[in-house]
Amino acid sequence: MGKTIVVASGKGGTGKTMFTANLGAMLAKKGSRVVLIDMDTGLRNLDLYLGLENNVVYDVNDVLSGMCRIKQALIKHKTFEGLFFMAASPKPDEGEITPLHMKVLCNKLKESFDYVIIDAPAGIEDGLIIALGGADKVILTITPEFAAIRDCEVMSNHIKALGIDNIHYVLNKVDLEMMNAGYAPSVDEIPGTIKSGLIGIIQYDKNVRISTNMGVPIVCMENTYIHKNFSNICDRVVNL
């Protein structure tokens, strides 16, 4: 039986979609069967970051509303054996989809996948509650900004109140020069509750931007520090 991991954040732009794409690709590289689901309805990007935007026929709302079968909405990645993708609906949800629908879908997928990884919308809106419907674990992406850290604490408490305690954090877009100059919070300034749950630190690197623009996960770049970093983060996720 697989596990469902929801990637969420308080603010947009913290790297949820980048992290989802690369975690999925790295897990698949290491031999797992992985399905990535874009639940950022209306503001979807995951298809672009995976280079699969031209392959989408059915989306997750088609599956949840019974318009098509699960298999019809699963898109196999071109490069990574074992990596599949289910697209978000381009239209905002009209209230027909509930967290229970999501739980049923995740449970079904967990029968044949090791990991179901969900790219959630930013913030604490209804879309997040639906995305969390089948969650076993949550990873929150944060950037080194006091506002992002505060929002992350609020998110964490909100998610815990829903009964999900397995929450971990990834600090993304770290600029060491800014940190060392005191212009961005250092790791020591991150509250203990978040710091103790950190499973990865990812530097700001323009190659990440290039990779999301090109639709090629950065973990395709073998023998780079970022590949090694994602490999380590991936091993920590496996042991969560």
Contact positions toward Mg ion, by CB under 5 A? 16-17, 45
Of the pair 83, 120, the CB lying nearest ligand ADP is at 120
Exposure of 119 in the CB half-sphere (CA atoms within 13 A): 33
Q: Which of 202, 233, 234, 237 binds ligand ADP (CB under 6 A)?
A: 202
Q: Which of 212, 230, 234, 237 binds ligand ADP (CB under 6 A)?
A: 212
**Could you tell which of ligand ADP, Mg ion, none binds residue 208, using a CB distance below 5 to 8 A set by kind?**
ligand ADP
| 15, 107, 124, 137, 144 from 11: Cα distances, Å | 10, 28, 10, 19, 12
Q: Restricting to residues 15-54, which ones interact with ligand ADP according to CB under 6 A?
A: 15-18, 45
**Number of residues engaging ligand ADP in binding (CB under 6 A):** 18
Tokens for 47? 């298809």
The Cα 207–Cα 60 span in angstroms is 30
Choose one: 13-21, 96-104, 132-140, 151-159; the region binding ligand ADP (CB under 6 A).
Answer: 13-21
Query: Smallest gap, in angstroms, from Cβ of residue 36 to ligand ADP?
Result: 12
Residue written as token pair 């209804």: 126
The Cα 11–Cα 163 span in angstroms is 22
Query: Smallest gap, in angstroms, from Cβ of residue 11 to Mg ion?
Result: 11
Of the pair 17, 89, the CB lying nearest Mg ion is at 17
Q: Which of 209, 225, 228, 231 binds ligand ADP (CB under 6 A)?
A: 209
Residue written as token pair 């509250």: 191
Query: Smallest gap, in angstroms, from Cβ of residue 22 to ligand ADP?
Result: 9
Q: Residue 58 region, left (φ>0) first, then alpha (ψ -120 to 50), else beta?
A: beta
**Could you tell which of ligand ADP, Mg ion, none binds residue 27, using a CB distance below 5 to 8 A set by kind?**
none
The Cα 212–Cα 206 span in angstroms is 10
| Helical residues (DSSP H) of 89-224, grouped into ranges | 99-110, 126-131, 146-161, 176-180, 192-195, 206-214
* Phi and psi at residue 139, to the nearest 5°: -120, 125
Binding mask 142-181 for ligand ADP (x = CB under 6 A): ------------------------------xx--------
Residue ranges in contact with ligand ADP by CB under 6 A:
9, 12-18, 45, 141, 172-173, 202, 204-205, 208-209, 212
